[in-house]
Structure 1
Amino acid sequence: MDDLAELTALIEPEARALGLNLVRVAMFGGEDGPVLQVMAERPDTRQLTLADCGSLSRRLSEVFDEVDPIEEAYRLEVSSPGIDRPLTRLGDYADWVGHRAKLKLIEALGNRKQVDGDLAGVEGDDVLIAVTDETLRVPFAQIAAGKLVLTDKLIAATAPLDAGDAEELEEEDDD
């Protein structure tokens, strides 16, 4: 079952049970064999604590031990999306309006195969991105990959949880 859609269908309910949103599931080749990368976040903070990573990793390991969805040996990596995060869901483009993003397109839009600009919103299934003197409408289905670009504005918007915030979140989990 090395199919990412099937793996995602196994992983997503486990993340949701922990109050997390799944951001991305990907399989990458590595020197020591493939890596199954699972990115998740808390919907309220867009971050993931170390405790969250451990909880999700343990939960997924139990499910995978039972179901054994990947035939070959692999390494499980659970992480936050990071500051220059991938944009994988249509809602991500709406959530990060005003921030700089880089999009790689499946097919060229006009003469552009890559678009770099400020996210301007979402209309229906289209992502709006302001590039120089125009706003382009990019069908979400035509985006091969999207990610935020590291800027001072993004750094300010994604300031890490301080120790007190992280402890409060962990205490809420215990309740």
Structure 2
Amino acid sequence: MKRNIPQDIMELAAPVVEALNYELVDVEFIKEGANWYLRIYIDKPGGISIDDCQAVSEQMSGILDKKDPIEQSYYLEVSSPGLERPLKTERDFVKYKGELVEVKVFQPIDGKKVFEGQLVGLIENKIVISDAGNDIEFDREKVAIVKRAIKF
């Protein structure tokens, strides 16, 4: 059975992050070039500082050294998800309801792969946005990514 490293790390990181009063947004384990990176994304109202990242990094380093859940060597990074953070969980869809989002689909719909609109929500496993008053529904499994769209 293949291990799901990001899910395993989410389970280890959640109590640490929550104890520090942050939100655990995501975990990714990816190879870039010759190196592997374990990235833990955290957030809090008002945003994340370097000190916040350091606090989580220090605690997670000790846990990861002790539990040793990853066989190969890697770099640990703790970061903010950024302003245009991807929406993944049901909690994200509730939290950002009414905000401007960008939806990218795997296969074009009427010749388009990218849609933008106000997030209505996640309803019966469909992502719903409103564009100029017209609701557009996307089957969740056909969506590559939903992220906040920040206009300056």
Task: State the TM-score, normalized to the length of structure 1.
Answer: 0.72
Q: Which segments of 5 or more consecutive residues in structure 2 lack a partner in the other structure?
A: none
SS in 2 for 1:84: coil
After TM superposition, the structure 1 = structure 2 runs for residues 1-175 of structure 1, keeping only pairs within 5 Å, are 1=3, 3-42=5-44, 45=45, 47-105=47-105, 113-132=113-132, 134-152=134-152
Q: In 2, Cα distance between the equivalents of 1:140 and 1:79? A: 26
**Distance between the aligned counterparts of 1:92 and 1:2, measured in 2?**
22
Over 3 Å counting, the alpha-carbon distance change for 1:47 and 1:29 in structure 2 is: same
TM-score (norm 2): 0.82
Shift of 1:31: 2.8
For the 8 Å contact 1:2–1:69, the answer to whether it is kept is no
Deviates more, 1:12-21 or 1:98-107: 98-107
Name the one with the larger helix percent.
1
User: How many aligned positions are there?
Assistant: 150
SS in structure 2 of the partner of residue 82 of structure 1: coil
CA distance in 2, matches of 1:35, 1:106: 26
How many angstroms does 1:85 deviate by? 1.3
Aligned to 1:171: none
Structure 1 stretches of 4+ with a deviation exceeding 6 A read 107-111
User: Do 2:88 and 2:146's aligned partners in 1 also have CA atoms closer than 8 Å?
Assistant: yes
